[in-house]
Amino acid sequence: MGSGIATVGDNCIDRYLPPMDRELVGGNAVNVAVNLQRLGYQAAYFGAVGDDAEGRRVRTVLAQLGVDLASLKTSAAGRTSLTVIATGADGDRHFVSEDFGVCRFYRPDTADLSRLKTMRHVHIGWLDDEGTTKRALIQAGISVSQDLSVNAEPRNISPADLDIAFMSCDGDDTQAHDLARAVSAQGARLAVIMRGARGSLALHGGDVFTGEALPITVRDTTGAGDSFIAGFLSAHLEGRPIAQCLAQGHSEAAQTCQVLGGFAQGET
38-90 pLDDT tens trace: 999 999 999 999 999 999 999 999 999 999 999 999 999 999 999 999 987 77
What lies within 8 Å, CB to CB, of 225 at 6+ separation is 28, 147, 149, 166, 168, 194, 253
Q: What is the mean pLDDT of residues 137-157?
A: 91
| pLDDT attached to residue 266 | 63
pLDDT digits (tens, 9 = 90+) for 170-185: 999 999 999 999 999 9
Residue 117: exposure state from Cβ atoms within 10 A (0-12, 13-18, ≥19): middle
Give the number of other Cβ atoms within 10 Å of residue 207's Cβ: 8
Strand 119-124 to 143-147 pairing: parallel
More confident residue, 20 or 9: 9
Q: What is the mean pLDDT of residues 145-168?
A: 92
- pTM confidence score: 0.95
Q: 55, 30 in Cβ contact below 8 A?
A: no
| pLDDT attached to residue 89 | 76
| pLDDT attached to residue 151 | 81
Closest CA to 219 of 258, 165, 183: 258
Q: What is the mean pLDDT of residues 86-105?
A: 86
Confidence of residue 268 (pLDDT cuts 50, 70, 90): very low
Q: Give the chain's domains with CATH numbers.
A: 4-257 (3.40.1190.20)
Closest CA to 202 of 245, 237, 240: 245
Nearest-angstrom CA–CA distance, 232 and 158: 21
Buried b (16+ CB within 10 A) or exposed e, 176-198: bbebbeebbebebebbbbbbbeb
